[in-house]
Structure 1
Amino acid sequence: MPVPVPRQRIVSAAAPGAATAVSAATATGTDLTLLVIEDDPAGALAVPEMLDADGTRVRIRTARNLTEAERLLTDDVHCVLVDLALPGPRAAGDDPLAPLRHVLRLAPHHAVLALAASADAELAAEAVRVGAQDHLFREELDGRLLSRAIRYAVERKRADAVQVKLTESRLRAQENARLERGLLPTPLLEGSDLRFAARYRPGRSRALLGGDFYDTVRTADGTVHAMIGDVCGHGPDEAALGVELRIAWRALTFAGLCGDELLSTMQQVLEHERESEEIFATLCTVDIAPDGRRAGLCLAGHPSPLIARHGRAARLLPYEDGGPALGLLPRARWPRRQVELGGSWSLLMYTDGLIEGRSAGPGSPRLGQDGMVEMINRQLAEGLRGEELLEAAVTEVRSLNGGELTDDVAVLALERARG
């Protein structure tokens, strides 16, 4: 059926002074390409291009059937104009929108316009509900209207694509947040007089996932077990492995394992669950006796905790007897070292993200454990404890680094206030 556009080399799409649509494509002077699918040779757009009032050229390609349209539908086509009177695929039966549905399947990323007779207004509206960006009536069509419809359709398709990406991004964020909740467990300390606090901050901008993990539980004999670890790398695979290791640690701890036996079993879990043999994890475990005055310490390639006793400066616990990170040596051993805590103390466990940031902005030396101990002592002198201390520590480390840290940071504190 004829599409009434003047047959001339370049057709002005708008009369002088007429309003024109504004879009990203036209604003930047980008030419547009229109694919017209129309089976009547006399009705097809015979002009090779149009020129609208903004100076944007609309190049026109013509296909007489769906098979030819598939061949002409290349990546440089911005919009497809499909005649709803076009015969549909044989398998479509009596579906009047079969040609449109076929084009939408062929061109999921292209803007699509539906062309119909004015008597088929209901069918034209249904075409938009099915997926076309807009519809045009054959009897009302002219160059100006067609050019405007093309530009609007292209921008509407772009907006739809952005909305789809935003929706997908929100769904991924929700999934990541659910996984993150597995990384940030609720401590099981019922019956204990120890105070618990924790902070976790991913190192990458806007990220939700990291390889750091921690947990704290109290077993039936009154012993409080605390653990913090770090899977090498960043992202959902490392985060998932961190969750698996945390769950394994909790289960093994409640089963009565401790020290070298526990870490050896943890290494077996890591070796079974990791994606490649290059992945390893560092770990620090502390088991605090029921009286709260002494603890057992195991280090698997992890930084030693910091202890602050009443009336004394904070310092690092001994770390000379630590073992290697999990996953590095197949028959490694992890000795358990007995340490005296005293009557009143605060124990700070952390991942290396807290000490590997810069001490005075980009290019400066790393903060290191000595710099961290000095920072914590200064904050303790200011009267900070628990949640406030951890928040201040993480905030200051980020400030010293001169911006977001590249590594994830997890830090937890256990405090015993009485002797």
Structure 2
Amino acid sequence: MVIGDGAAGSAEGTVVNGGASLGDDTVLDDRVEATVESVDVLLIEDDPGDAFLAEELLADTALTTHITWVSTLKAARAHLTDFRGCVLLDLNLPDGHGLDLLREVLDTAPSAAVVVFTGLDDEHEGIAAVAAGAQDYLVKGQVDGSLLARSLRYSLERRRADENARQLREARMRARENMRLERGLLPQVLLDSSPLSHRAYYRPGRKRALVGGDFYDAVEKDGTTHVIIGDVSGHGPDEAALGVSLRIAWRTLVMSGISEERVLPNLEELLATERAQEEMYATLCMTSLDTGSDRARVRSLGHPPPMIVKGGVAEEIQAVPQPPLGVFPVDQDEFTEVVLPRGVSLLFYTDGLVDAYDGGPPARLEVAGLRRLVNGVLGQGVALNNLPEHLVDEAERSNGGPLQDDVAMLLITHGEPE
């Protein structure tokens, strides 16, 4: 038998090969045969004879199909949403025609494979339909059971291949976007004339499609070295873009020679104008050290202050806390002075470390737990320059697996380390 030969009609409904009904409990075929695959089929065909033939042809193959037949586009709409099988589509329906009909089906059921039926004189429509997104086309009057079953299998596999290709393209786009964002968030520091040396480290979190809003920078300008590390609240492209804006703006403010106490208030003004939502804010810590001095000025806005590492031991800096940037106005004169002799280091970090579990939920490492890990790593004789990698490894062991959030660290040393 071939579709289009004017066979007798059947009722609109559902059929499963091997003994199911068309909606009126009529058993079409109760034979049992070996199957190689199961396919859900939505048959959109206004000719009852052609619909019945399609069901009969598939019943004679080894392909197990669950067929739902509708005769109009209006009736099909209720089935197309979230449909992931194969749509057999007649391009000439009472309420839909041609490529416009196909486009609506493709838009409504983006995860489905689509095979279109055309008449012998309309084969060009089938070619155009494949170009528009259908997986295959069949000409009525030239279809047998074997060809129909093979077309269904092929169309489903092609749809899966198209989906895999789409996901691969998106993954590559995300990777390129990550690279651009990382260049903005994690720059080459400007410390050529500074008495401070640095070691930067960054690792993305486990469940992140895009790099987050963690950022850092360090710049020497007119005899003073300024260091910043920060984290925009939330996760996503808006937060990452805001982190890039804040980092670039901070460097611009420092390089322009603006007074130190005005840097963060100006940065807050920029955050207020650039954030996508009113509730977005950023935590950050900024430290400044004059060349020839051993006294650093630490400003902490909702962010953990750096740890000071001296003689192989890490200690918490008790900095005066201020609210995060974007919550309340910045106090221009509020800072904590820290003695930083030559050979002593400061470890700046983002909250991806302190938010790790302390041996398991619900307890978190917090700053005290992180200090314990730092001292444990240093106590093993690990070189200071290798501290970030070892510290993340220890945090992941404490967490019971990869860290959820991004981790950025900046290890700053005054002169040569002890």
Checking the alignment, whether the CA contact within 8 Å between 1:48 and 1:61 is kept in structure 2 is no
CA distance in 2, matches of 1:132, 1:254: 57
Checking the alignment, whether the CA contact within 8 Å between 1:5 and 1:143 is kept in structure 2 is no
In the other structure, the counterpart of 1:56 is 65
Checking the alignment, whether the CA contact within 8 Å between 2:354 and 2:370 is kept in structure 1 is yes
Checking the alignment, whether the CA contact within 8 Å between 1:348 and 1:414 is kept in structure 2 is yes
Q: Secondary structure at the match of 1:74?
A: helix
In the other structure, the counterpart of 1:185 is 187
Structure 1, residues 367-407: CA drift from partner, whole Å, max 9, x if none?
Answer: 23222223222323334345411111112112111123333
CA distance in 1, matches of 2:118, 2:370: 70
Checking the alignment, whether the CA contact within 8 Å between 1:362 and 1:402 is kept in structure 2 is no
Checking the alignment, whether the CA contact within 8 Å between 2:232 and 2:239 is kept in structure 1 is yes
Q: 2:377 aligns with which of 373, 376, 379?
A: 379
> For structure 1, which segment, 279-288 or 354-363, has the greater mean C-alpha deviation from structure 2 after superposition?
354-363
CA distance in 1, matches of 2:101, 2:159: 15
Checking the alignment, whether the CA contact within 8 Å between 2:43 and 2:51 is kept in structure 1 is no
Structure 1, residues 11-59: CA drift from partner, whole Å, max 9, x if none?
Answer: 9799x9999663xxx1xxx642211367xx8x74455944353442434
In the other structure, the counterpart of 1:352 is 351
In the other structure, the counterpart of 1:316 is 316
Q: Secondary structure at the match of 2:364?
A: coil
CA distance in 1, matches of 2:16, 2:301: 75
CA distance in 1, matches of 2:52, 2:331: 79
In the other structure, the counterpart of 1:65 is none
In the other structure, the counterpart of 2:224 is 223
Residue type of the alignment partner of 2:102: L
Checking the alignment, whether the CA contact within 8 Å between 1:241 and 1:274 is kept in structure 2 is yes
1:328 is aligned to 2:331: no
Provide structure 2 residue ranges, at least 5 long, that are not aligned to the other structure. 19-28, 81-85
Q: 2:77 aligns with which of 74, 78, 98?
A: 74
| Pairwise CA distance, 1:81 | 3.4
Provide structure 1 residue ranges, at least 5 long, that are not aligned to the other structure. 63-68, 90-97
CA distance in 2, matches of 1:181, 1:254: 19
In the other structure, the counterpart of 1:283 is 284
| Pairwise CA distance, 1:229 | 1.1
Instruction: Please give the residue correspondences for 1:27-106 in structure 2 after superposition, counting only pairs within 5 Å.
Output: 31-36=40-45, 44-46=50-52, 49-50=55-56, 51=59, 52-62=61-71, 69-76=72-79, 78-82=86-90, 100-106=98-104
In the other structure, the counterpart of 1:247 is 248
In the other structure, the counterpart of 2:142 is 140
Instruction: Please give the residue correspondences for 1:156-235 in structure 2 after superposition, counting only pairs within 5 Å.
Output: 156-219=158-221, 221-235=222-236
Change in CA separation of 1:343 and 1:47 when aligned onto 2, cut-off 3 Å? closer
With the length of structure 2 as denominator, give the TM-score of the two structures.
0.79
Change in CA separation of 1:12 and 1:257 when aligned onto 2, cut-off 3 Å? closer
Structure 1, residues 322-348: CA drift from partner, whole Å, max 9, x if none?
Answer: 322222223644513332211211111
Checking the alignment, whether the CA contact within 8 Å between 1:79 and 1:153 is kept in structure 2 is no
CA distance in 2, matches of 1:47, 1:87: 17
Checking the alignment, whether the CA contact within 8 Å between 2:46 and 2:93 is kept in structure 1 is no
Change in CA separation of 1:335 and 1:258 when aligned onto 2, cut-off 3 Å? farther
CA distance in 1, matches of 2:325, 2:139: 70
Change in CA separation of 1:175 and 1:88 when aligned onto 2, cut-off 3 Å? farther
With the length of structure 1 as denominator, give the TM-score of the two structures.
0.79
Structure 1, residues 292-318: CA drift from partner, whole Å, max 9, x if none?
Answer: 633222122221211123x36322233
In the other structure, the counterpart of 2:263 is 262
CA distance in 2, matches of 1:261, 1:241: 20
CA distance in 2, matches of 1:318, 1:132: 65
Residue type of the alignment partner of 1:182: G
Change in CA separation of 1:335 and 1:124 when aligned onto 2, cut-off 3 Å? closer
CA distance in 2, matches of 1:130, 1:218: 57
CA distance in 1, matches of 2:209, 2:390: 21
Q: Secondary structure at the match of 2:248?
A: helix
Checking the alignment, whether the CA contact within 8 Å between 2:210 and 2:237 is kept in structure 1 is no
| Pairwise CA distance, 1:125 | 5.2
